[in-house]
Structure 1
Amino acid sequence: MRFGVSFLPDSSPETKSPADYYREVLDLCRLADDSGLDYVKMTEHYLHPYGGYCPSPLTFLAAVAAQTRRIRLITGCALPVFHHPVKLASYIAMVDAISGGRLEVGFARAYLPHEFQTFQVPMDGSRQRFEATVAAVHRLLTEERVTEDTPYFAFRDATVLPRPTQAPRPPFWVAAVQTPESFDRIGRSGHGLLITPTGREFDTTLTARYRASFAAHHPEGTPRVMASLPLLVAETDQKARELADPHLNEYLRVWASALDTWDETVSTDYAQYTGLGHVVRTLTARDLRATGTAFVGSPEHVADQIGRFQERACVDGILWQVDFGGFGGTDALRSVELFADRVRPQLDALATTAPTATAPSATAPTAAAPTAGADA
Structure 2
Amino acid sequence: MRFGLSFLPDCTPETKSPQTYFSDALELSVQAEVGGLDSVKMTEHYLHHYGGYCPSPLGFLSAVAARTSSVRLMTGCVLPVFHHPIQLAAETAQVDAISGGRLDVGFARAYLPDEFDALGVDMDESNDRFRETIRAVLRIWTEEKVSEQTPFFSYRDVTGLPRPTQQPHPPVWGAAVRTPENFAWLGTEGLGLLITPLISPHEFRDHLTVYRDAFEAAHGASGLPPRVTASLPLVVAETDEAAEEIAETYLRRYLDVWAEAVNAWDRRESSAYRGYSGFGWMLRGLQAEKLYTEGGAIVGSPATVIDRIRAFNRHIGGVDQILWQIDFGAMPLPKARQTLELFCDQVLPEVTTL
For the aligned pair, the TM-score class normalised by the smaller chain equals over 0.9
Q: Which residue of 1 aligns with 2:254?
A: 251
Instruction: Output the amino acid matched with 1:324.
Output: F
Separation in 2 of the partners of 1:103 and 1:328?
28
Partners of 2:36 and 2:294 in 1: how far apart?
29
Q: Find out whether 1:217 has 2:218 as its counterpart.
A: yes
Q: 2:304 aligns with which of 288, 301, 304?
A: 301
In the TM superposition, what is the alpha-carbon distance from 1:328 to its structure 2 partner?
Answer: 3.2
Give percent identity, aligned residues only: 55
Following TM superposition, by how much is the alpha carbon of 1:150 offset from its aligned partner in structure 2, in angstroms? 0.5
Q: Which residue of structure 2 aligns with residue 347 of structure 1?
A: 351
> Which residue identity lines up with residue 260 of structure 1 in the other structure?
N
Gaps of 5+ in 1: 352-376
Question: Take 2:267 and 2:159, find their aligned partners in 1: how far apart are those partners?
Answer: 43
Matches within 5 A, 1:56-71: 56-71=56-71
1:78 equivalenced with 2:78 (yes/no):
yes
Residue in 2 that maps onto 1:323? 327
Letter in 2 for 1:155: Y
1:243 CA drift (Å) = 1.6
1:285 to 275, 283, 288: 288
The 8 Å contact of residues 140 and 146 in structure 2, kept in 1 or not, is answered as yes
- CA deviation profile, 1:28-84 (whole Å, cap 9, x unmatched): 000001111010000000001000010000110000000001000100011000000
Size of the aligned set, in residue pairs, is 350
Instruction: Give the secondary structure class of the aligned counterpart of 1:229.
Output: strand
Displacement, 1:322? 1.2
Contact 2:231 2:325 in 1 (8 A): yes
Query: Does the alignment pair 1:231 with 2:234?
Result: yes
Aligned to 1:276: 279
Give distance in 2, aligned partners of 1:237 and 1:281: 25
Corresponding residue number in structure 2 for 1:19? 19
- The residue identity in structure 1 corresponding to 2:216 is A
Q: Which has the higher contact order (CA 8 A, sep 6+)?
A: 1
Query: Is the contact made by 1:25 and 1:328 (CA closer than 8 Å) also made in structure 2?
Result: no
2:76 and 2:106 in contact (8 A); partners too? yes
Q: Which segment drifts farther, 125-134 or 202-211? A: 202-211
Task: Give the Cα separation in 2 of the matches to 1:280 and 1:122.
Answer: 25
1:149 corresponds in structure 2 to 149
Distance in 2, matches of 1:250 and 1:171, equals 33
AA of the residue aligned to 2:329: G
Distance (whole Å) between structure 2 residues aligned to residue 338 and residue 35 of structure 1: 10
Does residue 335 in structure 1 map to residue 339 in structure 2?
yes
CA distance in structure 1 between the aligned counterparts of 2:90 and 2:192, rounded to whole angstroms = 21
Query: Is residue 81–residue 133 contact of structure 2 (8 Å, CA) maintained in 1?
Result: yes
1:126 Cα deviation (Å)? 1.0
Tell whether the 8 Å contact from 1:109 to 1:127 is kept in structure 2 after alignment: yes
Structure 1 residues 17 and 203, CA gap change in structure 2 (3 angstroms) = closer
**TM-score (structure 2 length as normaliser):** 0.97
Matches within 5 A, 1:114-193: 114-193=114-193
Q: Partner amino acid for 2:346?
A: R
Q: Distance in 1 between matches of 2:319 and 2:8?
A: 21
Where does structure 2 lack aligned partners over 5 or more consecutive residues? none
Alignment of structure 1 residues 97-108 onto 2, 5 Å: 97-108=97-108
1:237-296 superposed Cα distances (whole Å, 9 cap, x missing partner) = 111111221010000000000111111111110121111111111112111111111111
Greater shift, 146-155 or 197-206, is seen at 197-206
Instruction: Specify the SS of the correspondent of 1:238.
Output: helix
Instruction: Return 161-170 or 200-209, whichever deviates more.
Output: 200-209
Q: Please report how far the alpha carbon of residue 297 of structure 1 lies from its aligned counterpart in structure 2 after TM superposition.
A: 0.7
Counterpart Cα distance in 1 of 2:43 and 2:31: 20
Paired residues of 2:197 and 2:204 also in contact (CA < 8 A): no
Q: CA RMSD in A?
A: 1.0
Aligned to 2:47: 47
TM-score by length of 1: 0.92
Deviations, residues 315-361 of structure 1 (Å, cap 9, x unaligned): 1110001121001311211210110110011113x64xxxxxxxxxx
In 2, Cα distance between equivalents of 1:203 and 1:323: 24
Which whole-Å CA distance do the structure 1 matches of 2:137 and 2:91 have between them? 11
Please say if residues 248 and 324 of structure 1, whose CA atoms lie closer than 8 Å, have aligned partners that are also in contact.
yes
Q: Which runs of 4+ in 1 moved over 4 A?
A: none
Q: In the alignment, which residue of structure 2 is the partner of 1:93?
A: 93
Q: Output the amino acid matched with 1:89.
A: A
